[in-house]
């Protein structure tokens, strides 16, 4: 007789795959190998008696049955987290003031907050989205308790992973062919701006700044309109834009070191510590 129990480990892997967008990206979120995650999904589909995910050429897509199950899976995991908190007395409350650049928010902060909310739903989170150069001083002054930032110096916070910087352009406009090269940049002091200008200077590529914006949306608008090329974190490049490189006459760029940076003023706050630990568990990876 076919098994019908939906085990929590299977559901946890299923939700992680949806949130992360792929089996490989989900693996570190559930502390398993990619092959183990794939096996958990197969077991869940066998128990459900139907396909839950369609393996497309670029990413995984929910089937109608998968979309239906996802709603229940999230609730089951939430109830499981509430039960554990009730049994172990982990009833945290209070406010955590959190900062994150907008290019990291959707890709990296979303899985952190989803996992955190399963165990600590009573904690209120106040989110500030700004560039790392603005967030770091706020953490230092105690205006923010915790932030996910691009390091401005090697020892800043706890290193989580390296995020590639890439040149991007709109294929329909081919702005990279112009001389001098028109570029869109973040505000003065931005690490991405600094690295982009240094790379162009080292290559002796003629360029001119034609657009300034402190927001990711502003950068994307400049590129999409054909006004300029820009340097973005790889995680923030939308499908409609083209990643550029040596073949387009553009120099290589260094990676950003992404770190969890915690305020000294919030060292003894249990809710801040819980979110900090969740950030480390979810986002720390080698390389």
Angle (deg, nearest 10), helices 8-20 and 110-119: 150
| pLDDT number for residue 18 | 83
pLDDT band at 1 (very low <50, low <70, confident <90, very high): very low
Secondary structure class of 185 (helix, strand, coil): strand
Q: What b/e readout covers 30-69, taking b as 16+ CB neighbours within 10 angstroms?
A: bebeeeebbebbebbbeebeeebbeeeeeebebeeebeeb
| pLDDT number for residue 47 | 92
pLDDT band at 145 (very low <50, low <70, confident <90, very high): very high
Q: Is the pLDDT of residue 4 over 80?
A: no
The percent of residues above 90 in pLDDT, for the chain, comes to 60
Q: Is the pLDDT of residue 119 over 70?
A: yes
CA-to-CA dists, residue 103 to 6, 80, 197, 217, 279, angstroms: 35, 31, 20, 9, 16
Indicate the DSSP class of residue 254. Answer: P
The average pLDDT across 202-212 equals 94
Which is nearest to 256 in space by CA: 116, 123, 103, 64?
103
Which is nearest to 174 in space by CA: 223, 239, 210, 235?
223
Element (H, E) at 277: helix 270-283
| pLDDT number for residue 58 | 57
- Contact between 19 and 62 (Cβ < 8 Å): no
Which is nearest to 111 in space by CA: 172, 231, 29?
29
pLDDT band at 204 (very low <50, low <70, confident <90, very high): very high
Q: Report the 10 Å Cβ neighbour count for 97.
A: 20
Secondary structure class of 101 (helix, strand, coil): coil
| pLDDT number for residue 90 | 60
Fold of the domain spanning 163-255 = D-Maltodextrin-Binding Protein; domain 2 (3.40.190)
Residues 259 and 59: their CA atoms lie apart, in Å, by 27
The CATH number of the domain covering residues in 95-161+257-283: 3.40.190.10
- Domain 8-88 in CATH 1.10.10.10? The answer is yes
In order, the DSSP letters of 205-230 are: --EEEEEE-SSHHHHHHHHHTTS-EE
| pLDDT number for residue 287 | 41
Residues 6 and 52: their CA atoms lie apart, in Å, by 13
Outline which parts of the chain fall under CATH 1.10.10.10. Answer: 8-88
| pLDDT number for residue 133 | 92
Q: Is the pLDDT of residue 254 over 50?
A: yes
pLDDT band at 109 (very low <50, low <70, confident <90, very high): very high
Outline which parts of the chain fall under CATH 3.40.190.10. Answer: 95-161+257-283, 163-255
The average pLDDT across 107-130 equals 88
| pLDDT number for residue 71 | 85
- Contact between 262 and 138 (Cβ < 8 Å): no
Range of lowest pLDDT (40-44, 71-75, 164-168, 260-264): 71-75
The percent of residues above 70 in pLDDT, for the chain, comes to 94
Question: Over the stretch 52-78, which tens digit does the pLDDT of each residue have?
Answer: 998 765 567 889 999 899 888 888 887
Length of the chain: 287
pLDDT band at 267 (very low <50, low <70, confident <90, very high): confident
Q: Is the pLDDT of residue 158 over 70?
A: yes
Q: Is the pLDDT of residue 118 over 70?
A: yes
For the ranges 12-21, 30-39, 109-118, 242-251, the one whose mean pLDDT is highest: 242-251
Mean confidence (pLDDT) of the chain: 89
| pLDDT number for residue 3 | 52
């Amino acid at each position: 007789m076919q098994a019908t129990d939906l085990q929590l480990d299977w559901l946890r892997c299923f939700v992680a795959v949806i949130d992360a967008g792929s089996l490989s990206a989900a693996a570190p979120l559930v502390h398993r190998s990619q092959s183990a995650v794939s096996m958990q999904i197969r077991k869940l589909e066998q128990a459900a008696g139907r396909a839950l995910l369609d393996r497309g050429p670029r990413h995984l897509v929910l089937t109608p049955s998968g979309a239906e199950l996802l709603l229940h899976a999230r609730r089951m995991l939430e109830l499981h987290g509430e039960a554990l908190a009730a049994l172990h007395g982990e009833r945290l409350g209070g406010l955590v003031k959190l900062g994150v650049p907008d290019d990291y928010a959707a890709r990296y902060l979303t899985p952190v907050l989803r996992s955190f909310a399963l165990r600590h739903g009573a904690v209120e989170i106040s989110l500030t989205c700004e560039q790392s150069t603005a967030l770091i001083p706020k953490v230092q002054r105690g205006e923010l308790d915790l932030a996910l930032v691009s390091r401005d110096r090697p020892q800043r916070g706890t290193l989580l992973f390296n995020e590639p910087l890439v040149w991007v352009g709109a294929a329909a406009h081919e702005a990279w062919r112009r001389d001098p090269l028109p570029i869109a940049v973040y505000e003065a002091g931005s690490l991405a701006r600094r690295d982009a200008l240094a790379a162009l200077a080292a290559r002796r590529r003629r360029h001119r700044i034609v657009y300034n914006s402190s927001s990711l949306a502003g950068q994307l608008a400049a590129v999409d309109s054909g006004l300029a090329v820009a340097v973005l974190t790889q995680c923030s490049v939308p499908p409609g834009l083209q990643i550029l490189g040596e073949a387009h006459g553009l120099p290589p760029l260094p990676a950003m070191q992404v770190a969890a940076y915690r305020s000294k003023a919030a060292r003894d706050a249990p809710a801040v510590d819980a979110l900090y630990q969740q950030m480390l568990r979810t986002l720390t990876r080698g390389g």
